[in-house]
Structures are given as C-alpha cells and as structure tokens.
Amino acid sequence: MKHIYAFAALTLGLVAAPVLAASAAPVAYHLVQTFKPGGDTGWDYLTVDAEARRFYISRGTHMQVLDADTGKLIGDIPSLSGVHGIALAPPLGRGFTSNGRDNTVSIIDLKTLKTVGTVAVGNRPDAILYDAASKRVFTFNGGSNDSTAIDAVTGKVVGTIPLGGRPEFAVADGKGMLYDNIEDKSEIVAIDSKTLTIKSRWPLSGEGPSGLAIDAKNRRLFAVCGGQKMVILNADTGAVAATPTIGGGPDAAGFDPQTNLAFSSNGEDGTLTVLHEDTPDKFTAIQTVPTQAGARTMALDTKTHRVFVVTAKTAPAVPGEPRWRRSYLPGTFVVLVYGQ
C-alpha cells in the first residue's frame, strides 16, 4: 500500500443504513461521525469484523482493536515491526498481521488479543488475506515479488508463489481463487489457492493499480488505478466490463454486496467515489463525497453499510525531502465515518 505509515483508527455507527434496490436509487453518503482516537504513529490497512463488531488498525509498531460501534479501545497488540495488513479467520479464532520490517507474520488469538506465534515469510510482506476455501493465509511480499502461503491451522509455510512483479491489494472469491494487483506491471494475477499456481494474468489499462475489491456473486473485480480510473473486470475471463472515472490518488476499494455499491477512497483530492452496479456490466456514478486530503485508506462495514477513511494533517515540507517521507502533525489524526 502506498504511503504506508500514516495514522489510523476507526469506529462505526449504531444504525444500519437502508439497503438499496437493484436499480441505481439516489444515495446520499455524508459525514455522520468523526473520531479523534489519538496516537501519532503511522497507519496502513484497516479491517472490520462486521459480525464481531471489531475494528482493527495497523499502527506501524502495534495494532489497535476498537469496538466497531462505540470506538472504545478493546486492546492494543504491541511488538509488530512495520505492521501493514490484517487478516481475520474468525472460525479459527485467529488473526494474522504482515510485518514488513522483520519479514514475519504474527498470529493473534482473537479472544485474548495476544500474539501466539510468528512465521517467517518473504521480503517486506504488505497485503495479507485469509482464504476460507483452502484454510490458508497468504502474504503478498513487496520486496521479493512473491506470495507466501501459510496453513492457518498449523502456522506452517506450505509454499511460495512467484508473482513476477510488486504486489498490492489482494482479494479472495471464497471458492479457491485469489486475485492480486501487480502495481509495477499494471496487471492482475489470478491464483489457485490450493495448487499455489498462477492461472491467469490480465493487463490493466490503468497505471499503478493499488486497491482491489470483489463482487463474488457477479464475478467482478474492482481495481483502482492512477489517472483517476477504476478498471472493472470479469473475475473468470479478465474481460473489462467498465472503466469509470474516480478521484485522484486512490489507494483502497470496496464493494458492498447488499447495496451493490462500489467505493474508491481518493487521497489526492480528498473524495470518496460511489458507484452503483446496475448490472454486472453497467455501472452508474452515484456520488462524489468530499472527505479530506490524504484520506486514502478505507474500510467498509457490510453490516451498517458505512465507509471509514482516515487522515492527518501533513507537516510542512522539508526542502529536498521526498513526498512519501513527509511527516504528520501530532494530534491531528481523524477517522471520518460516512453513511447514508
């Protein structure tokens, strides 16, 4: 994920939004809550457990766990070196984090919120996901351009998949296929989670794909790219269904299967793009919601249908300092909650 160590935290509202009809009905996403949880360390991926009502936030060196409805801090898991992604396996009672600085995965007990194991993986693991079909956890390693597969029950590495490029976000279809954006090659790879082989490579017309979401029922992938473009593909054939315009500087994507809404969080211009899937091949732009500059990272709660983005105020530029190393002003991190 780009600009990985930025601040993060999140909480969710109490009232579920109404479910949309199949057609593109008017939607009015707006800011419904703002949280200021504090903390001046960085952030990367956000994860919501909609059923358990928990929200997980990677914070650079630790992971915060919040009550998803009240924002109350439930736990704080320390000693995670460069934590990026968070994968949850509720049926197993386990969570997993990708730790980019020491090339490991930490195994978390979801009841006690304690680290119960550590697994060595590839170089600079970033995205991570749990695949229920194979009961495996997969890291997507930006330094070694590969994916490490871990048995989620035993915690043992079962294989490594060369990806041929730098991976970004990944999603699973629940039936044994994984999909990952390859950022530097502008393509998506389709991976068989059981045989650990790449089945397909599909080029993307957008540059530098980052966020990725899936409509598993209708077999559609949503890849957000540079140039204000979302590329929507058939998850079986790779055929492009649509390329709607989104905001600038996107990083995360989401899809809500109950409302048929797709989202893109756009940090450069501070917006949230909302699209409606009228049919698997027809998409209507519903709304461009103002957020705040830098709000790139996003999480979707499929139970309340709310979207959460995070950001902080950037410190004044230092001459000659690269943009990606810019720091943030202490005490300015906010969580912005958007609902219907």
pLDDT string in tens for the chain (340-residue length):
544 433 333 333 333 334 444 444 567 899 998 888 877 877 899 999 999 999 998 989 999 898 888 888 899 999 999 999 999 999 999 999 999 999 999 999 999 999 999 999 999 999 999 999 999 999 999 999 999 999 999 999 999 999 999 999 999 999 999 999 999 999 999 999 999 999 999 999 989 999 999 999 999 999 999 999 999 999 999 999 999 999 999 999 999 999 999 999 999 999 999 999 999 999 999 999 999 998 999 999 999 999 999 888 888 877 877 665 668 889 888 889 999 9
Asked if residue 210 and residue 192 are part of one domain, the reply reads no
Instruction: Identify the pLDDT of residue 319.
Output: 82
Asked if residue 224 and residue 129 are part of one domain, the reply reads no
Residue 162 belongs to some domain of the structure: yes
Asked if residue 261 and residue 323 are part of one domain, the reply reads yes
Asked if residue 177 and residue 251 are part of one domain, the reply reads no
Asked if residue 249 and residue 170 are part of one domain, the reply reads no
Number of separate domains in the chain? 2
Dist. CA 181–CA 302, nearest whole Å: 23
Asked if residue 307 and residue 248 are part of one domain, the reply reads yes
Indicate the burial class of 23 (C-beta count within 10 angstroms; 0-12, 13-18, 19 or more).
exposed
Residue linked to tokens 């994860």:
47
Residue 71 belongs to some domain of the structure: no
Instruction: Identify the pLDDT of residue 57.
Output: 86
CATH of the domain at 268: 2.130.10.10
- The answer to whether 168 and 151 have CB atoms below 8 angstroms apart is no
Look up the domain containing 287 and give its range.
Answer: 1-16+27-37+204-340
Residue 12 belongs to some domain of the structure: yes
Instruction: Identify the pLDDT of residue 323.
Output: 61
Give me the residues paired with residue 225 across strands. 229
Instruction: Identify the pLDDT of residue 256.
Output: 98
Dist. CA 308–CA 37, nearest whole Å: 14
pTM, two decimal places: 0.90
Sheet containing 125-131, strands listed edge to edge, beginning at the edge strand earlier in sequence: 125-131, 136-141, 146-151, 157-162
Asked if residue 340 and residue 298 are part of one domain, the reply reads yes
Of the residues 169, 203, 237, which one is the last residue of a structural domain?
203
Of the residues 203, 226, 257, which one is the last residue of a structural domain?
203
Asked if residue 273 and residue 219 are part of one domain, the reply reads yes
- The answer to whether 132 and 94 have CB atoms below 8 angstroms apart is no
Residue 74 belongs to some domain of the structure: no
Of the residues 203, 227, 244, which one is the last residue of a structural domain?
203
Residue 53 belongs to some domain of the structure: no
Asked if residue 262 and residue 226 are part of one domain, the reply reads yes
Instruction: Identify the pLDDT of residue 2.
Output: 47
| Residue pLDDT, tens place only, 31-60 | 998 888 877 877 899 999 999 999 998 989
